Amino acid sequence: MEQDHYQVLGVPPDADLGAIRQAFRRRAFEYHPDRGGSHAEMKRVNLAWEILSDPAARRNYDAARTDAGNRAAQEAAAADARSARERAARYPRRWADFEAWLKRISRDFTDATYGAEHDDRLTAVPVPTVANSASGWVFILVGAALGGILVSPAIFTWCKTQHVLFMPHRVLFLLTTLPPILGGWAGLWIHQCIAKTLGKAPTHRSGGGGAHPQPAAATESRIISCEKCQQKLRVPGIGSELVVTCPACRHRFTHGPA
């Protein structure tokens, strides 16, 4: 492997998504080209974030990292790395734009409103839905696709071998559509876990009532002064030590948590 993503971000392998996100923000502040870092360093940080923030890619990476002889895991991790490497190079070059980009990513999770649609004409099982979040629908659709691809054919094959294909059509339809629906619910649950890690209590809605959003915890910025030229600098309000490069005099210094 070309880099250890946990070492790049400075987190242990068992770190949760919240810790990984904080570490990514801290490293981005340190290595962003607009803050005195370099494009090459920023790509390494972005690559680590792309892999470790994606549950499936992280699972493949962990398997390949701990078992070099696992060919399937190595190939899956390599495929994830190729696509993540392309995304890692596409980031806002101005720090102010980069901060706004980070907030948009976070809001797509924290602004999500979860719900369910129930249509007895199709199935007795409610179908997961999400509003105000493009990533939420991605998680639901990927979960549904995996459930349909991995489980539905197995159920159909079992019905065929057991000679139960002549059961009532509604029952057969339910058996073959249930896995995608449950996969969609699994994807929604993962999205809720990520939203909760980013500081938001999940908001639910039902067909008969409105949503009751709950405030998400925000990471506030703060103003500090350069130790050398006293230039006022805005830094993210992360509760840990930051490495700061003054854009005016290029002095590099550390600043403790607020």
Task: Give the pLDDT of residue 96.
Answer: 72
Task: Give the pLDDT of residue 208.
Answer: 43
Task: Give the pLDDT of residue 257.
Answer: 60
Q: Cβ(211)–Cβ(204) under 8 Å?
A: yes
Rounded to the nearest angstrom, the gap between the alpha carbon of residue 108 and the centroid of all alpha carbons in its chain is 10
- Sequence-distant (6+) residues with CB within 8 A of 73 are 60, 63, 64, 67
Task: Give the pLDDT of residue 149.
Answer: 79
Task: Give the pLDDT of residue 239.
Answer: 57
DSSP β-bridge partners for residue 67: none
Task: Give the pLDDT of residue 182.
Answer: 84
Cα separation, 175 vs 151, in Å, equals 10
pLDDT, tens digit (0-9, with 9 covering 90-100), for 204-214: 554 444 444 43
Cα separation, 106 vs 111, in Å, equals 8
Task: At 176, list the tokens.
Answer: 């073959």
Q: Cβ(246)–Cβ(235) under 8 Å?
A: no
Q: Cβ(59)–Cβ(23) under 8 Å?
A: no
CA-closest candidate to residue 195, choices 215, 170, 181: 215
Q: Is the pTM of this model over 0.75?
A: no
Domains of the chain: residue spans and CATH: 5-91 (1.10.287.110), 113-204 (no CATH), 220-258 (no CATH)
Question: pLDDT of the chain along its 258 residues, tens only?
Answer: 678 999 999 999 999 888 888 888 888 888 888 878 888 998 999 999 999 988 889 999 999 999 888 898 899 999 999 988 888 888 777 777 777 777 777 777 777 888 888 765 555 678 888 888 888 888 888 888 887 777 666 666 666 666 655 555 555 566 667 778 888 888 888 888 877 766 554 455 544 444 444 333 334 566 778 778 877 776 666 555 666 777 777 777 777 665
> Which amino acid is located at 8 in the chain?
V
Task: At 14, list the tokens.
Answer: 């068992």
Task: Give the pLDDT of residue 53.
Answer: 87
DSSP β-bridge partners for residue 203: 113
Cα dihedral 153, 154, 155, 156 in deg (nearest 10): 50
Task: Give the pLDDT of residue 213.
Answer: 41
